Amino acid sequence: MAADKPWALISEVGENGYFEELADIMREHFQIMPLSDFLQSPALHGPKIQVLFIWKFYPEPKPSLLAELPSLKVVCSAGTGTDHLDIPYINNLGLKIANTPHVVSDATADFAMGLLLASARKMFEGQQIARGPEMVIIPQSLMGVEVSGSTLGIIGMGEIGHKIAQRGKGFDMKILYHNRSRRSAEDEAAVGATYCENLDDLLKLSDFVMLSLRFHTDCTGLIGHRELSLMKPTAILVNISRGLLVDQDALIHALQSGIIQAAALDVTHPEPLPRGHPLLSLPNALITPHMGINTTTTAKKIMHRMVNNAVAAVKGLPIPDEVKPQ
């Protein structure tokens, strides 16, 4: 019976939260409470909440919210990234943390290649011209960059990076990569990848530089003025990781001055960018709203994984995807 199911706090069901099919997956095991309902009476609702589901970074697990949840057992976050979580603080409260690794890799790698292709072939500009009221001929300004046979430099060769390399190989691209540790010879051979121990070498040689590494605070500003200046003037930067990896002021300068040709970004800092931000007005900056995992199939996989983790936590069982302090 529904009354016997434990309670979970969520953002909302609807356009800015979970679509109904995802909510139904949660409802199989939990009674769900939208944040707006919870905030009407935190003292009444707080003691019964055992699970906090985080989707698209909401609800934010701030200390003020966690303090209102004395019965909370687990914080379940969608996706693989955990940089939005204060893991030591949450663990010190006696709470478990879980994420959803492995289920987002294909969708993210697909989207990464989509950004690369769209930017290289100026698809966004082309659509605007095709829809324009004065469209008569195809202007020479829509001349793009050849993808097939070009060099793709991947910074961060984890699961997603390796899947991007697989897709790049399908376009007959030469694959370079830089990683904290070198992949096995078998992994390299599978995608025809060459390891660059020195990041500068990758930047100098690549036609496309793809950021797909897991974010750590020591990677903040990894791509700045110096790094951009090492890239080819015809190069395109693609970022599907986190906005903080790129010095955005340096990127704006590089795009405006021709240091690099273009950038395709699914992530920025902050998200969304303030209206009027210089990046939003640059024709050679393709920006999407952190939607790399946005397919119905992947969303359902994520939700099932979140629910499995939450059920295990409530029952006191080992959590399949528990995130532990490093």
State the catalytic residues: 242, 271, 290
What residues contact 274, with CB distance under 8 A and at least 6 apart? Answer: none
Q: What are the b/e assignments for 140-179, b being 16+ CB within 10 Å? A: eeeebbebeebbbbbbbbbbbbbbbbbbbbeeebbbbbbb
Instruction: Give the alpha-carbon dihedral of 147, 231, 169, 214, to 10 degrees.
Output: -130
Amino acid at 144: G
Total length of the chain: 326
Beta bridge partner(s), residue 154: 177, 210
Q: Which among 324, 323, 326 is positioned nearest to 305, based on CA atoms?
A: 323
In this structure, how many other beta carbons lie within 10 angstroms of the beta carbon of residue 318?
Answer: 8
Separation CA 94–CA 69 (nearest Å): 12
Separation CA 115–CA 237 (nearest Å): 10
What residues contact 97, with CB distance under 8 A and at least 6 apart? Answer: 74, 75, 76, 77, 82, 85, 87, 90, 91, 322, 323
Amino acid at 146: E
Helix axes 123-131, 105-120, angle to 10 degrees: 60
